[in-house]
């Protein structure tokens, strides 16, 4: 599902589609969904009606002026529609590509696992929850489900955008499959887990195109605030008209205010900028999450991600590389480090595990020990087994073994040798450091220090999160001693050792009881209770169906570190909405002081002192302000789509920067731009 990162505004087809949608969105039913822009919509209709009436001699204001105001108001509405449509455009493009992957195929339905030879060919559209299907190499998986038998490589590029195939097998945490993906090799038996029209692909299509997008609580709260503000400005405008009429009567002058002027004034003073962009900001936020290959089941989840203050992260694969690696050779009882490395390398030549490979590499790097000729040395390798819990090699009458300390101790003593006290001491020291001791014996040569390798840059990421006010908690099955050592090295704030499903659930509940918002990732059925409890729950796409259903987001890349990016996107969404709200309200303040003095200067000549911009006339001031009001919506669309750049600093610093850039900038920009527009329209003799 990964898409091009280029701006939607640079995509010709997307822009054309958005322009068409802008006109479709002029339907009253659509406009009613946005109360602030509904006010502009009604104002455009009213001024259009006033212009038509003026053609019959009933003039509220100059016909040309009224027509100009009406045209600009319609453009304002269209620009707001365009902002929303262009934000929706990327989602619709993604939905189109997903629909191409969703098609009815032949499904090979079987009665049970044991009856694979009894096949009924049916349409995938007729499959219901609980049906069992056989899928062979080259066939498309007909629906979402769990692999209950077999193992196969699956192409999921239609869903994830990644071309590399993945392994899906029965049992474990990699048993979930998605309809629309293709089996490349072998075969699997899948039990369908969704009803028709409720598949993961259906949900993806619905979410990315915004069909099910509901306003979030914060978005609704902001909209209520904007509506209240608009009502206040309606009352202010009506009051201004009353004052104007009274003042004109007292001065025996014509009323400088007209319905057209006051309608234009109302639109300028109302928070139309954020009103026009509010929906686009929310849609663009969800689109950015989709581009990160994360599917949010609701906008509420994205918003919650922005408010999260505690992250629960798995150690393996998130904080560490996932495989322990050899970091040092520690000899005992007078043995040299090179002798130990030589023996350890020989014992690991046939060991294809990541740990075994790392021992060979370390011996090569530290002592330049190269690979040996296995045939010439007549080596007989002893593979690792769960029963013996060690591996090694026999050659030229020598037996070299490597394994866990207790296993090797038993092996040494059973063969009539004495287990080294120094070795026991080294083993304890390594364990205390959070490492895994691997003892090498030909009569106890020494210990290999295996350690979890912390991912590069993880410590810096956690430091950034700390600046953001986010607490990080590492979850691991390791013992507390090992967990503490890794936590200290990685720079996390806290850890949960010997973690169990019950322990994770209890920790989340405790944190929430203290007022924290918690985010976590998971992929297994045992993670489902904790995922269901967390405020932001990111399920891995490779995980079980239970985990996916419990989460409110699904990471299509199945990367545990994605949680950090999700939090950033959530915070960026909240920042963008807050920044543009600040800018919009600051704009309103500036436009108020720019227009009002010029509007009433004939009634109250003293107001000329407040005409600091030196606007030419009442009509030019109104015209300039309403043109600026329309153009600023278009100017801010790229920012609404891209989002305000998020910096890992404290909330106080973010607020200060927001007020400085968007608050002060929102006050200054109208003064400069309205003056420039005023000069241009006067020079072009558009208004007198």
Active site residues: 314
Q: Which two tokens stand for residue 512?
A: 């929430």
| DSSP bridge pairs for 123 | 106
What would the two tokens of residue 145 be? 């489900």
C-alpha 679/C-alpha 120 separation (Å) is 78
Angstrom distance (rounded) from CA 343 to CA 349:
10
- 446 DSSP assignment: E
Contacts of residue 628, Cβ cutoff 8 Å, sequence gap at least 6: 591, 670, 673, 674, 677
Tell me how many degrees the CA angle 537-538-544 measures, rounded to the nearest 5: 105
Q: At 499, is the secondary structure helix, strand, or coil? A: coil
Query: 545 with 190: CB under 8 angstroms?
Result: no
The three-state secondary structure class of 294 is: strand
DSSP 8-state secondary structure symbol assigned to residue 140: B
Which among 497, 494, 504, 501 has a CA at the least distance from the CA of 481? 497
What's the rounded Cα separation, in Å, for the pair 464 and 470?
9
| Tokens of residue 377, six digits | 């040395």
220 CB neighbour count, 10 Å cutoff:
11
For the beta sheet containing 294-296, the strands, ordered from the edge strand earlier in sequence to the opposite edge, are: 294-296, 553-555, 536-540, 518-522, 310-314, 471-475, 494-496
- 118-130 b/e (C-beta count within 10 Å ≥ 16 → b): eeeeeebeebeee
3-class state of residue 455 by DSSP: coil
For 43, which DSSP code?
A: H
Which residues touch 356 (CB under 8 Å, ≥6 apart)?
A: 348, 391
Residues 338 and 341: their CA atoms lie apart, in Å, by 5
3-state secondary structure of 588: helix
Rg over CA atoms, the chain = 34
Tokens for 322, please give them: 């996932």
């Amino acid at each position: 599902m990964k898409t091009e990162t280029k701006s939607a505004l640079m995509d010709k087809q997307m822009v054309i589609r958005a322009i068409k949608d802008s006109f479709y969105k002029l339907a009253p039913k659509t406009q009613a969904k946005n109360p602030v822009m509904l006010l502009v919509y009604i104002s455009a209709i009213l001024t259009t009606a006033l212009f038509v009436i003026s053609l019959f001699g009933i003039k509220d204001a100059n016909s040309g002026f009224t027509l100009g105001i009406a045209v600009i108001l319609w453009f304002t509405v269209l620009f707001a529609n365009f902002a929303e449509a262009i934000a929706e455009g990327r989602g619709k493009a993604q939905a189109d590509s997903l629909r191409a992957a969703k098609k009815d195929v032949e499904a090979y339905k079987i009665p049970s696992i044991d009856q694979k030879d009894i096949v009924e060919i049916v349409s995938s559209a007729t499959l219901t929850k609980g049906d069992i299907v056989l899928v062979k190499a080259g066939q498309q998986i007909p629906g979402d489900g769990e692999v209950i038998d077999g193992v196969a490589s699956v192409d999921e590029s239609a869903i994830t955008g990644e071309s590399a195939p993945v392994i899906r097998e029965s049992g474990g945490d990699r048993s979930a499959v998605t309809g629309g993906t293709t089996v490349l090799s072998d075969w699997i038996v899948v039990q369908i887990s969704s009803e028709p029209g409720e598949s993961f692909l259906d949900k993806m299509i619905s979410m990315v195109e915004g069909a099910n997008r509901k306003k979030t609580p914060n978005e609704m709260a902001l909209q209520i605030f904007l509506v209240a503000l608009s009502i206040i400005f309606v009352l202010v405008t009506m009051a201004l008209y009353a004052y104007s009429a009274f003042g004109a009567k007292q001065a025996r002058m014509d009323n400088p205010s007209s319905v057209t002027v006051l309608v234009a004034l109302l639109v300028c003073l109302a928070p139309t900028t954020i009103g026009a962009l509010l929906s686009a900001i929310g849609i663009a936020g969800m689109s950015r999450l989709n581009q990160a290959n994360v599917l949010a089941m609701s906008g509420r989840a994205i918003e919650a991600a922005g408010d999260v203050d505690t992250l629960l992260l798995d150690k393996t694969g998130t904080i560490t590389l996932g495989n322990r690696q050899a970091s040092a050779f520690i000899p005992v009882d007078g043995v040299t480090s090179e002798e130990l490395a030589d023996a350890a390398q020989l014992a690991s030549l046939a060991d294809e595990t990541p740990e075994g490979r790392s021992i060979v590499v370390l011996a090569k790097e530290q002592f330049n020990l190269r690979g040996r000729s296995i045939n010439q040395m007549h080596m007989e390798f002893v593979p690792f087994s769960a029963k013996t819990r060690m591996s090694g090699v026999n050659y030229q009458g020598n037996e070299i073994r490597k394994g866990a300390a207790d296993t090797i101790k038993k092996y040494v003593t059973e063969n009539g040798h004495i287990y080294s006290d120094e070795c026991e001491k080294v083993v304890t020291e390594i364990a205390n450091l959070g490492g895994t001791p691997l003892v090498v014996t030909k009569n106890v040569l020494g210990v290999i220090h295996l350690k979890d390798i912390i991912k590069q840059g993880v410590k810096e990421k956690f430091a950034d999160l700390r600046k953001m006010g986010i607490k990080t908690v590492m979850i691991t099955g390791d013992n507390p001693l090992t967990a503490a050592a890794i936590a200290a090295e990685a720079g996390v704030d806290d850890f949960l050792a010997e973690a169990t499903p019950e322990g994770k659930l209890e920790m989340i509940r405790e944190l929430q009881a203290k007022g924290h918002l918690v985010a976590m990732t998971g992929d297994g059925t045992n993670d489902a209770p904790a995922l269901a409890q967390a405020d932001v729950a990111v399920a891995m796409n490779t995980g079980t169906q239970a985990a996916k259903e419990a989460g409110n987001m699904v990471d299509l890349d199945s990367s545990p570190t994605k949680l950090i990016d999700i939090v950033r996107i959530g915070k960026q969404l909240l920042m963008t909405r807050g920044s543009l709200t600040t800018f919009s309200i600051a704009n309103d303040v500036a436009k108020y002081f720019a227009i009002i003095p010029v509007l009433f200067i004939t009634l109250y000549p003293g107001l000329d002192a407040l005409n600091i911009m030196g606007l030419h006339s009442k009509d030019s001031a109104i015209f300039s302000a309403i043109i600026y009001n329309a153009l600023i919506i278009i100017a801010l669309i790229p920012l609404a789509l891209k989002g305000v750049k998020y910096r890992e600093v404290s909330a106080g610093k973010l607020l200060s920067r927001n007020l400085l850039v968007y608050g002060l900038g929102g006050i200054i920009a109208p003064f400069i731009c309205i003056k420039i527009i005023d000069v241009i329209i006067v020079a072009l003799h558009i208004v007198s």
